[in-house]
Structure 1
Amino acid sequence: MTRRSAFVTLAPLVFVLSGTFQYIGAGVAVGLFDRMPAVSIAWSRIAIAAVVLVLLLRPWRRHWTRRTWWRAAAFGAVLAGMNIAFYLALEHLPLGTAVAVEFIGPVAVGALTGRGWRERLAIALAAVGVVMIVGVTLDIGGADAALGLAWILLAAGGWAGYIMLGRRVATPRPGEPSGLESLSVSMAVGALLYAPFGLPGMVTGDAPPMADPGLLALLLVVAVFSSVLPYGIDQLVLRHAPTARFSVLLSVFPATALLVGVVMLGEVPTLIEVLGLIAVSAAIALTSQREPAHLETVVPPE
């Protein structure tokens, strides 16, 4: 077994780790909603993660062409927008439900780019599982849930764009900045673009978050757990896994989010939701075989 095929085989376990990191950070963020605006929490997550990655990777040492720069900038705009929409949705929806609805984005990407019957069946199972999870919580109804649904559908579109652009960023041509270096620039661009929306909530009010060391420490935890670690892992997986398989592997996230919701937020799933999680797990199992050689392309066609 080659190193790449071993990596792809272990990808489901890697995604469990990534999802756990991401939704522990989201659980911490939900606890901050009564202390600062959700949009500022989402923005600070991106801004702090950008500082961390830029200092670690020092992307200014690499040669940036117009193409690599605009690719990273577009990725950053989509990534930051997706995160802000997701956090605004969390003001109105439980964590597990929000993640499940957002999964419409990866399902759409997988349906459009998948090739084999196992992958198609896996996408269908994942979609059924997500619908089962979502159907329970949307029975809550009301304008509040509808607003949350609107935000999370916007985040789902952003997630689809994140996958497609992320694949390009993760597979550079020889001599171009690496995926992680591009990710650091992307986050910096995203932080700058959305600063007019997120920054005011950090510096205004009787007790501005920027002046609270304890709150800043919690925001650092959110940034590292929800951005630095999972998005770094995404870049590694996207380099080796085809886009369709990456989309199906993301279906582990609803299960992870529900488990984190139970432990951190007391959001206990129903029997229907558990059955949905089983369907999602079956989808992941269907994609655990080695990828055909023709899908293991490192550099996509331009």
Structure 2
Amino acid sequence: MKMLKNNTTLQSLCLLLLAMICVQSSASLAKSLFSVFPVLTVSALRLFLGFSLLAIFFRIWTVNFRAIRWKTIISYGTALAGMNAIFYLSLQRLPLGIAVSFEFIGPLSVALFHAKTRFDFVWVILAILGIILMFPFNQVDASLDLFGVALAVLAGACWAFYILSGQKSSGISGQHTVCLGMFVGSCILMPIALGLGMPSQVLDLPYALYFILLALLASALPFSFEMVALKHLSPLSFGTLMSLEPVMAALSGILFLSEHLLWTQWLALAMIILASLGCTYTTHQAKQRLEKKLAEKKHP
């Protein structure tokens, strides 16, 4: 327990895992809402209600608005809007496993771009191979919906932008950054959702409660956890560790949807877990070496 308290890298890893669990636990709820409401309605309300919950919890009115770097907030909020809405739209055209496989090009590209040592490349390439093996080839029809593929890749690009923009200084706390970012994202999506027609059923019970629960599990909690983690993890570490997301999705499918995996997908899970553990270990070692060098310079 003491080790967890004093190790910010380990804390960040735990928060990242909690964020993934929250997102995957909300997947079945979102899927049930897709059968009743338009995708953009679900995405817009998810961000807006997530903002509302965080605004109350973190008392957004106490923020020093003069200190806010709005350029960072707007870029972060735009990334959030694109990452959520575009990926949901891709799910209308592609099976979940295939859409996730294409979306992960984004965070893995960030990890590969920031790779410096040979071990960095080993972990990133291992994660990429794992993602490829996770691809459900047995579910692929004669031809893929190319527009759906393009949407999934674009969602991945938004994810990469989200990782990079989340590390920039916003002038305020990480929690308030997430809160205002979600407000910006909902301001982008809400007019579009309203323009396309938002059913009045969103205000009816039990749907209103479902949307609040979705906002909590799919947006408010995971984005807050990720914002804290981003402050203590490099883009390389974050991008590689996020490759655990399909692992969480696969395990969630086994537990809640009775979806069975191919032997190649079990191998993929092992490769992704190894890549994530290896990336975490080498990053921690590099951090310790850097701290040691700085200490030696101070006290030669």
Query: Percent of pairs identical after alignment?
Result: 25
Aligned to 2:294: none
Contact 2:5–2:11 (8 Å) recurs in 1: no
Instruction: Tell me, yes or no, if structure 1 residue 166 matches structure 2 residue 158.
Output: no
* CA positional deviation for 1:14: 3.3
Instruction: Tell me, yes or no, if structure 1 residue 256 matches structure 2 residue 227.
Output: no
Contact 1:38–1:88 (8 Å) recurs in 2: yes
* CA positional deviation for 1:244: 0.9
* CA positional deviation for 1:107: 0.7
Instruction: State the alpha-carbon separation in 2 of the partners of residues 101 and 12 from structure 1.
Output: 24
Contact 2:167–2:230 (8 Å) recurs in 1: yes
* CA positional deviation for 1:241: 1.0
Instruction: State the alpha-carbon separation in 2 of the partners of residues 51 and 113 from structure 1.
Output: 35
Instruction: Tell me, yes or no, if structure 1 residue 190 matches structure 2 residue 190.
Output: no
| CA gap 1:104/1:146 in 2 versus in 1, 3 angstroms | same
Instruction: Tell me, yes or no, if structure 1 residue 119 matches structure 2 residue 120.
Output: yes
| CA gap 1:251/1:80 in 2 versus in 1, 3 angstroms | same
**Structure 1 segment 206-217 matched on structure 2, within 5 A:** 208-217=200-209
Among residues 233, 237, 240, which one is paired with 2:232 in the alignment? 240
Contact 2:4–2:10 (8 Å) recurs in 1: no
Q: Could you list the runs of 5+ residues in structure 1 that have no partner in the other structure?
A: 297-302
Q: Which amino acid aligns with 1:155?
A: A
Aligned to 1:151: 151
* CA positional deviation for 1:65: 4.2
Q: Secondary structure at the match of 1:288?
A: helix
Please say which of residues 150-159 and 1-10 is displaced more in the overlay.
1-10
* CA positional deviation for 1:130: 0.7
Q: Secondary structure at the match of 2:35?
A: coil
Among residues 215, 221, 246, which one is paired with 1:229 in the alignment? 221
Aligned to 1:63: 64
Instruction: State the alpha-carbon separation in 2 of the partners of residues 200 and 260 from structure 1.
Output: 35
* CA positional deviation for 1:17: 2.1
Please say which of residues 89-98 and 181-190 is displaced more in the overlay.
89-98
Contact 1:30–1:90 (8 Å) recurs in 2: no
Contact 2:22–2:222 (8 Å) recurs in 1: yes
Q: Which amino acid aligns with 1:292?
A: A
> Aligned pair count?
287
For the pair shown, the structure with the greater C-alpha radius of gyration is 2
* CA positional deviation for 1:28: 1.0
* CA positional deviation for 1:43: 1.3
Instruction: Tell me, yes or no, if structure 1 residue 283 matches structure 2 residue 284.
Output: no
TM-score, L = length of structure 1: 0.86
Instruction: State the alpha-carbon separation in 2 of the partners of residues 94 and 20 from structure 1.
Output: 21
Q: Secondary structure at the match of 2:69?
A: helix
| CA gap 1:119/1:17 in 2 versus in 1, 3 angstroms | same
Instruction: State the alpha-carbon separation in 1 of the partners of residues 101 and 11 from structure 2.
Output: 23
CA RMSD of aligned residues (A): 2.4
Q: Which amino acid aligns with 1:225?
A: L
| CA gap 1:137/1:79 in 2 versus in 1, 3 angstroms | farther
TM-score, L = length of structure 2: 0.87
